Amino acid sequence: MTAKRTMTLNLTDAEMRVLDELSARKDITKTAVLRQALRLYQTIDARVEKGEKLLFENDATKEKAELMLL
Amino acid sequence: MTVNVSKIYLLDVATDGSVEAELRDAIEQAQLDDWQTKWRPALLTTLQELVRKGVPFDQWPQSWHWDWSKKTARVQGLLAFRGFSIVAQGETQGLAQVDLTKAAREANQRGKPLVYLEYLEVAPWNRPDLGNAPRLRGVGTALITAAVALSEDEGFKGRLGLHSLPQADNFYRKIGMTDLGQDAAYQNLRYFEMTSEQARAFFEKEENDET
């Protein structure tokens, strides 16, 4: 197992509520939600930095929408 | 990056004895060097033999074109991807790469994160499907075990998913994964998934086999 470090995280009530909901719905701990979010953010950021776009496609209508990242 | 090394045991087919091996949670330059200087020439010899015997292309080892240097370079530094390697008798015996950003498809765990096994390959001299008796057995299973253990460690409860090359379909069925059928969006390869319950059963079987 890789060594891990501990940090304190300050979240608003709304953020904590979302974290609780995601943790329950995805069947993972709150720490795992945040680690997953970090992985996804880094992956998306790396691809956008290379000039790629992040698109969502509606499975039924095939309509595409681009997610703009800052 | 610190590489974690665990001791595992493989079966030496010639002597029927166990061989100590290292399971490393990374694919490093030494493994890529082995792939380049040992795996590729061994595979090339096999392919030449298949051509000589007139074996149809669809019966060739389906990973023959895999380039591990490119696969590892593509995900260098990204937290979402992890590699595993198995080293024994001074040589790399197996490699695997996983993606941690995928979600499950099986009805009872749909949408929940899992470890997706992108690539798994065993050294050509350990592959019975290439026509020769393998030198070491247990390399593929050890890499699957490592992926399921990572899933546990990441809080994904052992959930595992993968697209199987046709020659490996029966192996994944044998270790208890659910066959969710051909995936038109992924070269029509069959998609297999391990639920948390199947992961528990898989570990129990592994433990029983060891004792």
Tens digits of residue pLDDT in A3-25:
889 999 999 999 999 999 999 99
How many separate domains does chain A show? 1
B81 CB neighbour count, 10 Å cutoff:
20
The first and second tokens of residue B43, run together, are 């595979």
- What pLDDT score does B59 carry? 77
- A51 domain residue, yes or no: yes
- A55 domain residue, yes or no: yes
Chain A residues close to B153, C-beta within 8 Å: 1
How many separate domains does chain B show? 1
Chain A residues close to B80, C-beta within 8 Å: 39-40, 42-43
Interchain contact, B111 vs A26, CB within 8 Å: yes
**Cα(A64)–Cα(B46) distance, rounded to whole angstroms?**
46
- How far does A60 lie from chain B, in Å, by closest CA? 15
Which candidate, B81, B75, B74, B161, places its Cα nearest to that of B113? B161
Q: Calculate the average pLDDT of chain B.
A: 94
Interchain contact, A2 vs B4, CB within 8 Å: yes
Q: What CATH number does residue B146 fall under?
A: 3.40.630.30
B9 CB neighbour count, 10 Å cutoff:
14
- A27 domain residue, yes or no: yes
- A46 domain residue, yes or no: yes
Examine the predicted complex and report whether its ipTM is higher than 0.85. Answer: yes
Q: Calculate the average pLDDT of chain A.
A: 91
- A8 domain residue, yes or no: no
Query: What value does the mean pLDDT take over residues B78-106?
Result: 97
- What pLDDT score does A1 carry? 66
- What pLDDT score does B211 carry? 62
The shortest CB-CB distance from B155 to any of A1, A29, A46 is to: A29
Within 8 A by CB and 6+ apart from B50, the residues are B59, B60
Interchain contact, A42 vs B80, CB within 8 Å: yes
Range(s) of the domain holding residue A20? 13-67
Range(s) of the domain holding residue B39? 5-210
Q: B153 to chain A: nearest residue by CA?
A: A1
Tens digits of residue pLDDT in B198-210:
999 999 988 887 6
Q: Is the pLDDT of residue B173 over 90?
A: yes
Tens digits of residue pLDDT in B109-136:
999 999 999 999 999 999 987 777 899 9
- A17 domain residue, yes or no: yes
Report how far Cα B156 is from the mean position of its chain's Cα atoms: 19
- A36 domain residue, yes or no: yes
Interchain contact, A32 vs B4, CB within 8 Å: no
